[in-house]
Amino acid sequence: MPCPYNLRDTDMSNKTSLTFIWHMHQPYYRDAETGKFLLPWVRLHATKGYWDMVQVLKDVPEARAVFNFTPVLLLQIEELNRDISSDYFWELSYKSAADLTEEERVFILGNFFMGNWETLIRPLSRYYRLLEKRGFNAQPKMLRDLATHFSDQEMRDLQVYFNLVWCGFILRERDEVVRSLFEKGGGYTEEEKKALLEKQKFILANLINEYKQLAEAGQIELTATPFYHPILPLLYKADDNQGIGIEDDARTQLIDAANFHEKNFGTKPKGLWPSEGSVSQYILPLIADAGFKWLATDEGMLYKSLAGQVAEEDIYFPYLLEADEKRQLAIIFRDRELADNVGFVYSRTRPRDAVLDFVGKLNGISNLLRNKPERGLVPVILDGENPWESYADGGAEFLRHLYRSVSKLPDFEMVRVSDFLEKNPAQRKLKRLASGSWINSNFDIWGKGEEEEKAWQTLAEVRKDLAKDAPAGAKQAMYAAEGSDWFWWYGDDFFSVTKDIFDRLFRSNLIAVYKRQGKEAPPHLFVPIARAQRALLSEPTAFLSPTLDGKITDYYEWKGAACYIPGGSGGSMFEGPSLIRKICYGFDIDHLYLLFEWDRESAEFKDPAVVILCKFSLEEEVFLEISVGKKTVYLYRKSKDAAIQREGINTKEIGSVAEVKVGFQSLGIKPGEQVEFLAEVRKGQLVIERWPKDRFFRFTAPQPNFPFEQWVV
């Protein structure tokens, strides 16, 4: 079959190298006091992302890749293999539904819908009906009453569904137990539930060996990260007097990581992905001390290190760093656009279109490197577990088509990084490595803000109370508290329904530092650092009558609307500033009002092909298309017979913001009807952003008595 892409023939000896580095990480979820794993993500990502990623690569033997396993993830897999009942979610899943206590039923209703509702829950009609019965915005105080309305069978189905939807595409396709449960679609028995949970145990028990075998066969390279995933420059030292100066712990986190990696995989790792790509010149000797030969970070750190004096193609070559007078390290830089497209953009478009876009960008890079004397390397480095939750099929078609397509490109070869560096030693030298991370080339996400600064101050104070001859358990609790994830969730950058658990885990490790030394922990460690969380989504509270002039006329014109600020809305990945800055929606008795505010400096919205699409989930397919560049708004309705109707909406509503008014009758919405919708930024078939991420905007179309229902004394 001819190659579907318009590629030119090239000299086979002058190929550009491409490496995928998939970062696999979960923070230490084990509570230091109870020994229980408070969140289930190690186990559930094992049956989805981790298992899928190794198996799909085995199906394309000509492909090569690098996998970065954090030691703290390996440690948790090891501990779960010893005692899986220490996972509280697994324990509640295994327990007979008829024997669940009231508190356990409440817990299940509150926590067994965690996941991307659109891709994981909605496709399973019974699971989605259980979510509707529980309520989309059920508050904790409501759950106790709700629990009395769920039968034992419904609770058992919830136990099964929560574990079942986290089975990835490989298990869905190839495992009889998993496939039969999807086909049955509910009404599960205790025996069927236990068979599913036993399958999870099998995956956990065999996971590491699957990767080890693929590494021994030469298809993948395995790399490491500092043990508990700390931000080493903040733990030790960075530019601008950042860092709390704990050099011993930074060194230990690296040495322990290399040793634990060898214990699991049989060889010492050569490559290091510093936690969150965080680097500074000061940590380089520590990296060399631990035996690492190369490291990777974001392209932004090359620009920062060279003060912006960088040509576009310069990120596609390795550089040499002076760790000290006698030792050097190689460093490579992540192509941000390619990585972020895979992680955040391509899940919202058709897989083959996504791969076509990816290959097109590779061809552009190949042209940049055509006459360079050095062999180029394109590093695509990103999270290897979280993106697939957003892909409709868990990433199956995209990954398969990506690997098969890229492995056949005449201009490229897929490589393991250590193999590439052995054949093509770094020739360029970087005099000094600037300080920063893969996010905005700084450490603000983890270090800047009231909560973050308080957490670092608390950490430094506890570290002073750790004796040099403290028991190993006390030291391990200290190292666990140094992990980056606790600081990630502090502050208002990100929202998580489990933020209080991260706060608890951070403080429980610090408390354990004292208890394991036979000391009494200071009282302030028992007080949460995290402030109470804000609600993620709300509904309109009053009728609106805004002035539709494309600008915010006054502060009160959208008062009573439901307003949403994109970004920080859940998930553990950082996507940078969103193009959409604010979304508001409200109504009067006859009309829906929408407001969109966007980044007016963005290049995307200067492209007339880029539109905001507001998609409604109704009997007929209905959506609004807002073109910022063309200043047009159209309402499209696609009936069951596939006929498409288009209606123009007032175009005077687009200025510094877009203010849109559309009749409920035009939308086909009746009074009292439940309405759900989402907003996308699109360019053709490519979805650039979607808001909200894992749920829908929801409201009830108003009836005449709506204002009186909202009135309270």
pLDDT of residue 713: 32
pLDDT of residue 497: 76
> Is 619 a residue whose pLDDT tops 50?
yes
Mean pLDDT of the chain: 90
The stretch 528-542 carries a mean pLDDT of 70
Q: What is the pLDDT of residues 241-291, one digit of tens each?
A: 999 999 999 999 999 999 999 999 999 999 999 999 999 999 999 999 999
> Is 575 a residue whose pLDDT tops 80?
no
pLDDT of residue 557: 82
Which of 480-484, 520-524, 570-574 shows the lowest per-residue confidence on average (mean pLDDT)? 570-574
Assessment of whether the complete model's pTM goes beyond 0.75: yes
Distance CA 269, CA 331 (A): 15
> Is 532 a residue whose pLDDT tops 60?
no
In which band, very low, low, confident or very high, does the pLDDT at 637 lie, cut at 50, 70 and 90? confident
At 285, is the secondary structure helix, strand, or coil? helix
Q: What is the pLDDT of residues 582-600, one digit of tens each?
A: 899 999 999 999 999 988 7
Distance CA 282, CA 285 (A): 7
- Sorted by sequence, the CB contacts under 8 Å of residue 374 that are 6+ apart come out as 317, 424, 427, 428
pLDDT of residue 354: 96
pLDDT of residue 30: 97
Distance CA 441, CA 15 (A): 30
Q: Is the peptide bond before 692 cis (omega within 30 degrees of 0)?
A: yes
The stretch 380-392 carries a mean pLDDT of 94
pLDDT of residue 708: 53
pLDDT of residue 684: 82
Distance CA 189, CA 330 (A): 55
Distance CA 91, CA 100 (A): 11
Name 428's bridge partners: 319
In which band, very low, low, confident or very high, does the pLDDT at 12 lie, cut at 50, 70 and 90? very low
607 against 404, higher pLDDT: 404
The stretch 566-581 carries a mean pLDDT of 63
Q: What is the pLDDT of residues 302-334, one digit of tens each?
A: 999 999 899 999 999 999 999 998 999 999 999
> Is 534 a residue whose pLDDT tops 50?
no
> Is 573 a residue whose pLDDT tops 80?
no
In which band, very low, low, confident or very high, does the pLDDT at 488 lie, cut at 50, 70 and 90? very high
265 against 620, higher pLDDT: 265
Distance CA 241, CA 219 (A): 42
pLDDT of residue 108: 97
Q: What is the DSSP letter of 137?
A: T
Structure tokens, 636: 């499209």
Name the one residue in this structure whose structure tokens are 């899928």: 52
> Is 204 a residue whose pLDDT tops 90?
yes
Strands 428-430 and 319-322: parallel
318 against 682, higher pLDDT: 318
The stretch 174-182 carries a mean pLDDT of 97
Topology at the third CATH level for domain 562-709: Immunoglobulin-like (2.60.40)
In which band, very low, low, confident or very high, does the pLDDT at 688 lie, cut at 50, 70 and 90? confident
pLDDT of residue 381: 98
The residue ranges of every structural domain in the chain are 28-35+39-216, 449-526, 562-709
Provide DSSP, 414-460.
E--HHHHHHHS---EEES-PPPB-TTTTSSHHHHSSHHHHHHHHHHH
Distance CA 473, CA 305 (A): 39
> Is 695 a residue whose pLDDT tops 60?
yes
> Is 702 a residue whose pLDDT tops 70?
yes
Q: Say if CB 372 and CB 365 are below 8 A apart.
A: no
In which band, very low, low, confident or very high, does the pLDDT at 6 lie, cut at 50, 70 and 90? very low
- Sorted by sequence, the CB contacts under 8 Å of residue 6 that are 6+ apart come out as none
The stretch 2-21 carries a mean pLDDT of 57
pLDDT of residue 651: 65
Structure tokens, 75: 């440690």
pLDDT of residue 1: 31
In which band, very low, low, confident or very high, does the pLDDT at 7 lie, cut at 50, 70 and 90? very low
Name 19's bridge partners: 379
